[in-house]
Amino acid sequence: MRPRINNPLVNVLKNRTFRLLWCNGSISGTGDMSELLAMGWIVHQITGSPWQVALVGLSRTVAMFSFTLLAGAIGDRKDRRHIIMASNTINVITAVAVLVMLILGNLEPYYLFIVAAVRGASRSFDNTSRRALIFHVVGPGNLVQAISLEQIGFSIGRIAGPLAIGALLQITGTAVSVYSLLAGFYLIALTSILLAKVEPMSSSLPRRPVLRSIGEGLKYAYSTPAIAGVLTATVVMNAMFQYHLFIPVIAQEHLGVGPGLMGLLAAADGIGFVVGSLIIGLLGSRVKIHGKVFLTGCLGVTILLLGFALSPWFLLSLLLLITIGVFQVGFATMQSGILLTSTPSSLHSRVFGAQGMAVGAGQMGNVEIGALAAVLSIGTALAINAGVGIVLLILIAIIMPALRGPIERVDDPPDIPPPPPSEKGKAEAKETRRRHGIRLGHRRALGRRHRPEHKPADEPKEDG
């Protein structure tokens, strides 16, 4: 008899549907981070301008910001698996399109801006449906472990993807091999979601107009103190995370290293992410004060980013980014955990749509960093960004105390049967039935009065 395995991470991985979702998310996330690095490198090689690199991020952000609320409303109405399938299909098509343009030798920066916008729009639909689908598959009891495993897969991709991109660029000096690899990544991710079998969610909720449905999600998100605090901090944190877009500029202009070490630098926070995700996953349900872990992760990331911005040495920068990855887990895991726990499942996608709005607003930080870097330097721009972020996060922790306490779980309200009628209601119903019976009898009598008399047909006469 085999001993029973009580490891919560292993128990979640026994779910075949979750494994396929995990594979899909890990590979598509790997491609997403790798493609952002590759786009930044291509644009910087063509133009030499940090501002043009910022436009890649801006195109992606504007599209995500524009579609995320619609994506959330659709995610609560339609099959979330089909939504992810459509998003993955767009990933394959755009990667192949860029690959063809690279082979033909007519790739211009504005092509990449368009591709980044299309990818941003498709990503908004993926983001608003994925975590809600995972919640549906594993249930609330395994949610922290499932998200931790998702973060581990994403983190492995953040290590392997940039390392592969940097190595290919170092060896070949061209992005053709990079986009061949990305097209393969996206095709594998699409295959994984096609193989996943998810039972459709049954809902007895009435269908509402899309705009009203979006309004309900926003109202719930910003009227719930814990969710409002998470979304406000998300805006600040996503302004911090824009350092990843500028890794090619940091590597070349600030640290003076080539594409190979650039890939290692881009993979560094992924190493820390794996370590942090394992810690959170093993702790599992023992993590009770989600908000405090969330705030600690936020402040840790911004303080370490300030040190990274001021570091003149490659090795120190690498170590700081690894540590940043550990603290990012506290932010990312608890962010999703708080949103899913504090929201009924019927509103999950719409609340993640509100989160997408917060992410998009924060990602406008790439414009600020790009403009400052064009005037000052990339290091100074990142330092100013991190300093402002530290101040804002301290204010959020003070002004929004809901994040400092335990987060209460919210479930969908049960289907409540209508209350039994009162004695007065029974009498009224009886009187109504009596009157209805009289009217019905009167109609039947009238029908008989005006009905033509039935005359039997003449009997046939006998022959002869």
Q: How many CA atoms lie within 13 A of 278 on its CB side?
A: 7
Query: How far apart are the C-alpha atoms of 299 and 295, rounded to whole Å?
Result: 6
- Residue 207 pLDDT exceeds 60: no
pLDDT per position as a tens digit, 29-57: 888 888 888 888 888 888 888 888 888 88
Residue % of the chain over a pLDDT of 70:
79
- Residue 458 pLDDT exceeds 50: no
Q: Where are the alpha helices (DSSP H) in 139-175?
A: 143-172
Reported as a pLDDT band with limits 50, 70 and 90, residue 2 is very low
User: Longest C-alpha distance within the chain, in Å?
Assistant: 129
| CB-based contacts of 65, cutoff 8 Å, min separation 6 | 356, 357, 360, 361, 363
pLDDT per position as a tens digit, 153-197: 777 887 888 888 888 988 888 889 899 999 998 999 999 888 888
Whether the Cβ atoms of residue 20 and residue 195 lie closer than 8 Å to each other: yes
Which pLDDT does position 278 carry in this prediction?
A: 74
Which pLDDT does position 413 carry in this prediction?
A: 56
Q: Structure tokens of 165?
A: 């991109």
How do the domains of the chain map onto residue ranges?
8-198+213-404
Class of domain 8-198+213-404: mainly alpha
Query: How far apart are the C-alpha atoms of 144 and 294, rounded to whole Å?
Result: 13
Which pLDDT does position 429 carry in this prediction?
A: 52
pLDDT per position as a tens digit, 431-447: 555 554 544 454 444 45
- Residue count of the chain, please give it: 464
Q: What is the dihedral of CA 309, 312, 314, 317, to 10 degrees?
A: -30
pLDDT per position as a tens digit, 102-150: 999 888 888 999 998 998 888 888 877 887 787 777 776 777 677 777 7
Q: What is the mean pLDDT of the chain?
A: 77
pLDDT per position as a tens digit, 360-415: 777 777 778 888 888 888 888 889 988 988 999 899 888 887 776 666 666 655 54
Tell me the DSSP string of 347-410. GHHHHHHHHHHHHHHHHTHHHHHHHHHHHS-HHHHHHHHHHHHHHHHHHHHHH-GGGGSPPPP-
Whether the Cβ atoms of residue 247 and residue 37 lie closer than 8 Å to each other: yes
More confident residue, 398 or 73: 398
pLDDT per position as a tens digit, 414-433: 544 444 555 555 555 555 55
Whether the Cβ atoms of residue 20 and residue 133 lie closer than 8 Å to each other: no
